[in-house]
A and B are shown apart, each in its own frame.
Chain A
């Protein structure tokens, strides 16, 4: 955030607005809980998630096993902690692909507005946009083989047009500003203007959209994993925990409850944070309140 061209008083106003926005604060707390769970799982989990212990299988939630155990006697709470790591990693890298590839494309299209390259980038975008993403992701992972890397790629590809379109649209209006005109008069090239004057002013929008795509990525990863097309065993993942729970809900419903709640609260947290950030970044919306 240090490269944002924001006056100190304005930044203080943003922090104040953030603290006063209930949806942002709830979202932030939920998101931090899951990031913390994922980070802690690298050093410590209550039980070893790769250790099968058939004697302890399908235990009800108790003091020893907070969320109970699965059909192989693994501790569900520990599995959810490690699963958070997988979900966050997959969604984060998928958003990263979207930003790293999509934003430069959008900036290029805007800098060369109306040219052939703009046309080519935007038409390709529209094509990718028209595809049902989940369906194509299922097809790609089915052919390339199920793995976390392929899930990331399949989800990431469909993030590219989202960011390209957003960056182009916002950049087009920024190109009309006086300070861009001043930079052009000063002799700066299009690439340099895009990097120095356009990109920093897109940061807010990208952060908000990034949060939303992050939550969609977590849902998509869960869907792929539910199909057995995401992260492979022995590493647990929320989606696969749910697909394994499907046959067990008659005898042990909690097996299906907790991984689902983990997905819901993570996605909810990110969405609330995204909504909150949009209000905070947009002073017009803030004044309207």
Chain B
């Protein structure tokens, strides 16, 4: 197990280094002079020079990269150009919206997909199965931001049950906060639930065809008993992997949904950073999100190897 973990740790570190290099290259090297990019065309040369100075852009690219990375490691992300506050504070403020949103959506997606997938698999090729497969096919095709708009149309504009967007803050109470996150979480969860339900179904069907399930049936268990006692547990391994991977999709997908619902989370912060050309914010928040995605993938890999020892040998 240890060599496997070390190997995955090395590849985790390499991924992070590569990601940080790509982000740094795209944001600080490609635009030529980041200072003039941030200030736009009408800025005077003096203003640009002053910004170059305050951002330390006169140093060479490798030195600036090194400073950025060492800063990140110490939790220093620099000062936002537009907000004039440390980027760290902006992130700490907003992460308490993006994180709960992703977790909420993940729970919703799992809670919906699990029974639906089991139902479809246990009634293979029945009208129930066929309609579930049809609906999930549709769910995969729906862009989450459009689904979000439809939810607003139905539940906010027409029925008035929810507000169309915004966030009251956790100070307003847990339930008020959760209520504001409900429509965005549903919008995020639907396509993921569709994918997950299909994975659950096919994984369960694969397992139901295995010898140990046949043995269980031969022992006298009913189809239902064999499914619940033997097949389900074994079918869960691939499903858990997908759930882990979906968490990263949800974090990254929140960037669009937060803008549909005007939620002041990390996604909206990146979007505002892009429109205001605040590269310092964009650089750090994107790296943070990429870091989260790569970290989750790593954790999933490790959990997977714990659950299924065959994988350790196959990969190490």
Contact = CB atoms under 8 A, between A and B. Distances in A.
Contacts of B253: 134
A238 B81 CA distance: 33
A127 interface: yes
B152 interface: yes
Interface residues of A, number: 37
A187 B137 CA distance: 48
B10 to A, nearest CB: 11
A19 B310 CA distance: 42
A246 B149 contact: yes
Contacts of B289: 132, 135
A31 interface: no
A226 B141 contact: no
A222 B142 CA distance: 11
A227 B259 contact: yes
Question: Chain B: interface residue count, which band?
Answer: 35 or more
Q: Which of A139, A143, A144, A253 has the most CB of B within 10 A?
A: A143
B182 interface: no
B167 interface: no
Given A132-B289, A249-B153, A139 B27 contact: yes
Nearest to B19: A131
Interface in A224-272: 226-227, 242, 245-246, 249-250, 253, 256, 260, 263-265, 267-268, 271-272
Given A127-B15, A242-B149, A142 B255 contact: no
B140 A271 contact: yes
Interface in B254-289: 255-256, 259-260, 270-271, 274, 282, 286, 289
A249 B253 CA distance: 22
A223 interface: yes
Interface string B206-248: 0000000000000000000000000000000000000000001
B138 A249 contact: no
B222 to A, nearest CB: 24
A138 interface: yes
Interface in B18-40: 18-19, 22-23, 26-27, 30-31, 37
A260 B252 CA distance: 21
* Main SS at interface, chain B: helix
Contacts of A132: 248-249, 251-252, 289-290, 293
A226 to B, nearest CB: 6
A249 B164 CA distance: 11
B274 A264 contact: no
Contacts of B252: 132, 134-135
Contacts of A227: 256, 259, 271
Contact of B256 (A226, A245, A250): A226
Interface of A: 123, 126-127, 130-132, 134-136, 138-140, 142-144, 215, 219, 222-223, 226-227, 242, 245-246, 249-250, 253, 256, 260, 263-265, 267-268, 271-272, 275
Q: Which 10 A/B pairs are nearest by Cβ-Cβ distance?
A: A132-B252, A260-B146, A267-B141, A268-B141, A142-B274, A127-B18, A135-B252, A130-B15, A264-B141, A132-B293
